[in-house]
Structure formats: structure tokens, C-alpha cells
Amino acid sequence: MPVGRRRRAALPCAVIELESRCLASLPKAAMSPVVIFNREFECLQDTDTIAEATRQMLAHRVSDLPVVDVDGKLVGMFKLERLLAALLPAAALVGYGMPDLSFVSDDLDDLRDKMRAVDARHVREFAVEVENVVHPDTAPLEMVLQLYRGANSLPVVERDGGRLVGVVTARDVLAALHVPGQR
């Protein structure tokens, strides 16, 4: 099954996965922690266009998406802020940038023209290196710490090979914490 763009209607937002080995046969001390992440997620191929990326972002109400290569390995993240930077004058991006751009006469039509100019480019040109990744066996508390520190979402990659296998968001953690009937 190809990575990303997978959907199953009957699954909840957050999927709580136990490692695939038989945990019942292990002593309690050797049991792996429960890992929280979403295996049903949207991602981009590194050859997808900016136009396709923005369609997915709007459709799924997200501000960043993981980008993978043909083998499903994580290449980086396509972030809305990086796309917005392409619409700004270069002077606004140097150092601390300009405090305001009220003197620039660009209107919505001008911004749309700039957007059309980048629509056909590949997302790999805009993908940023991922600062934080987690693995299927990462403890939930570590995921919470990374999300607390500002990550919108955390790619879940295999330790061996770097293949993207999931994504965890603060919303996924929150959904896993709210078990019906236990509050």
C-alpha cells in the first residue's frame, strides 16, 4: 500500500497502536509503551505541485504536510509559512524583515498572480527539514513534549530506513486522552 493519502472512514482520528509483537508474552517490565499516532494521514509526494499541496491543505484544514519520496521516506515538511514567504517581497525576509509593508501596493489580485506563478513548482523545492520526528516506539510523554515545544505535527518514521508510517498531532493526543466513559 502506498504511503500517505490513505483513508479509512471507520477509523477514529487517533489510532492507539501497540507494538506488533505479542505483548502478553513479555514480562511487565519489558513491555513497550503504548504509542499514539495516526496511521491514516495525508502526505505529499516530492513531485506533487504547489497547487496540489494547497488543495490538500484546504481540504484537510492543515497548515503543514509531510513530503515523501518514491520509497515513502520522509523528505521534509511542506509548511504554509514557507509558501507565504514566496509571496512576500525579498526585503521582508532579510534579517528581522520589515516591520510593516503598508507602503507596498500589492492587493489580493497581485497575491493571486504570485500564487499562480508558483503553482506548478514541486513541493520538494519548498520542503523544510524536519526538526522533530518520532518513532513508533516513542513514549507518549515525549510526543507531548515535542508538541508543547511548538511542533504542529510530528512525523512518525521507522527507525530503520526512515519510511514515514504516521503522524501525531496535539489533537490526536487529546483524542486519545479523552476515552469515553472514563472521565
Detail the DSSP E strand segments found in 121-181. 153-157, 164-169
Euclidean distance between CA atoms 105 and 110, whole angstroms: 9
- Is residue 63 in a domain? yes
- Is residue 167 in a domain? yes
**Number of domains making up the chain:** 1
- Say which amino acid occupies 156: V
Contact status, residue 92 vs residue 101, Cβ threshold 8 Å: yes
- Is residue 9 in a domain? no
pLDDT at position 75 over 60? yes
pLDDT tens digit string along 103-158? 777 889 989 999 999 999 999 999 999 988 999 999 889 999 999 998 888 999 99
- Is residue 6 in a domain? no
- Give the CATH number for residue 119: 3.10.580.10
